[in-house]
Structure 1
Amino acid sequence: MADADRARWDARHAAVGAGSPQPPDALRGRLELLPPGGRVLELACGRGAVAVWLALRGFAVDAVDVSGAGLAAGAALAERSGVGERVRWVAADLDAGIPPSCAGPYDVVVCQRFRDTGLYPAMAERLAPGGLLVVSVLSEVGDTGGPYRAPAGELAAAFADLEVLAHAERDGEAALVARRT
């Protein structure tokens, strides 16, 4: 990622400020699919709302993002929520791949609104047996398209080796929840 992109994300995260813990979009209405605990890898965690939400449910979370401002906001949210020790904040440019310090295996891998098709195999590889993959991306389905939007069927095809538990494409978003068997 170019330094200009990193600076843009830092400015955006700093301007928005702290959020509140939130489940991943693809799991809304499907929370029963979450395992009772374990390890989580969240890629492109932004300000940490999902990472903190998972930590509040007892998970140990590795949260990765390129933005120092986003990671700082996430760490502050985790401390305020009483789960600061349950989240490890990892500064890394995902354009270079998933950091070696996040080798897994993980019981849950989450990636929300960050699309890099080159990361799809590594995301699946980091799942423990029975592990849950939770992915959402911008989609061409129900939208005018654009360079960052997935074509119809991309997630289902990319994770065809996993057991798909939920898959939806509409209104410019695609989401997939799948389990490694």
Structure 2
Amino acid sequence: MTNTPTADEEYWDARYGKDDQVWSGNPNVALVRETADLAPGRALELGCGEGADAVWLAEQGWQVTAADVSGTVLDRAARRAAEAGVADRVDWQRHDLGSTMPEGLFDLVSAQFLYSVGDVPREQILRRAAAAVAPGGVLLVVGHAGFPDWEHDHDPDTHFPTPHEVLASLELPDGQWEVLHTDEHERVQTGPDGQPSTRTDNTLKIRRLP
């Protein structure tokens, strides 16, 4: 990475710097569900935020590389891992994923709600994520299917890709991948007013054939 902060880095450092905790602190429900049948190995988490998913994976026995653009939040996540007793199982790395990606191959590559501000090349990042999956390994992509009920001033032209659209955008070579799961699912999320609201997300889970 260059030493000049990107717009993405500045945005997320500012956002995480305003509060001691932004997210719930719990691992994403889809990650917990979709990794239940996987033997722990090497995992890569893209856009790790405050580290709840990475710490949870480490607690399940995974050796985790966790990447985020914000140095502020990586420091926070590292403290969380130390408090959980898994500091030695997580390698925290700062990356602007539109430019750089952690090196190596992984048995699990997870991209949970990988969105940001500005012109972030999400499809390109996810294609690099697929390339980082080891033979026999899994790519798990979880995203929103729409805006939450409480957000009324959003851009009406914003498109949230379906799992099948995400799969097509990966441009995977024929005969080298197996589709394990494509679905939409509902979950309850607490809104800014503290009230619970139902939100629809989607999941793509694919495996690189050995």
TM-score class, shorter? 0.7 to 0.9
Rg bigger for which structure?
Answer: 2
Whole-Å Cα distance in 2 between the matches of residues 64 and 57 of structure 1? 19
Whole-Å Cα distance in 2 between the matches of residues 59 and 152 of structure 1? 26
Structure 1 partner of 2:192: none
Q: Percent identity, aligned pairs only?
A: 36
State the 1:86 CA deviation: 0.8
The one-letter code matched in structure 2 to 1:180 is R
Normalising to structure 1: TM-score of the pair? 0.82
* 8 Å CA contact 2:44, 2:106 repeated in 1: yes
The one-letter code matched in structure 2 to 1:174 is N
The one-letter code matched in structure 2 to 1:167 is T
Within the candidate set 62, 67, 70, 1:64 is matched to 67
Within the candidate set 88, 91, 111, 2:91 is matched to 88
Whole-Å Cα distance in 1 between the matches of residues 156 and 32 of structure 2? 25
Whole-Å Cα distance in 2 between the matches of residues 164 and 152 of structure 1? 11
* 8 Å CA contact 2:180, 2:207 repeated in 1: yes
State the 1:85 CA deviation: 1.1
Structure 2 partner of 1:109: 109
Normalising to structure 2: TM-score of the pair? 0.72
Structure 2 gap ranges (5+): 116-121, 150-154, 186-198
* 8 Å CA contact 2:48, 2:68 repeated in 1: yes
Structure 1 gap ranges (5+): none
| Residues 32-53 of structure 1: per-residue CA shift (max 9 Å, x gap) | 2222x21111111111111111
State the 1:148 CA deviation: 6.5
Structure 1 partner of 2:126: 120
| Residues 74-113 of structure 1: per-residue CA shift (max 9 Å, x gap) | 1010000000111111111112142xxx222101101111
| Residues 14-34 of structure 1: per-residue CA shift (max 9 Å, x gap) | 334346764344334334222
Aligned-residue CA RMSD in angstroms? Answer: 2.9
* 8 Å CA contact 2:163, 2:183 repeated in 1: no
Structure 1 partner of 2:196: none
Structure 2 partner of 1:133: 139
Secondary structure, aligned partner of 1:96:
coil
State the 1:155 CA deviation: 1.9
Within the candidate set 8, 27, 31, 2:31 is matched to 27
* Residue range with higher mean Cα deviation, 105-114 or 121-130: 121-130
Q: Which stretches of structure 1, 4 residues or longer, exceed 6 Å deviation after superposition?
A: 141-144
Whole-Å Cα distance in 2 between the matches of residues 4 and 47 of structure 1? 19
* 8 Å CA contact 2:113, 2:143 repeated in 1: yes
The one-letter code matched in structure 1 to 2:182 is H
Whole-Å Cα distance in 1 between the matches of residues 114 and 94 of structure 2? 15
Whole-Å Cα distance in 2 between the matches of residues 82 and 139 of structure 1? 35
Aligned residues: 177
* Residue range with higher mean Cα deviation, 117-126 or 79-88: 117-126
Whole-Å Cα distance in 2 between the matches of residues 29 and 5 of structure 1? 30
Whole-Å Cα distance in 1 between the matches of residues 61 and 83 of structure 2? 16
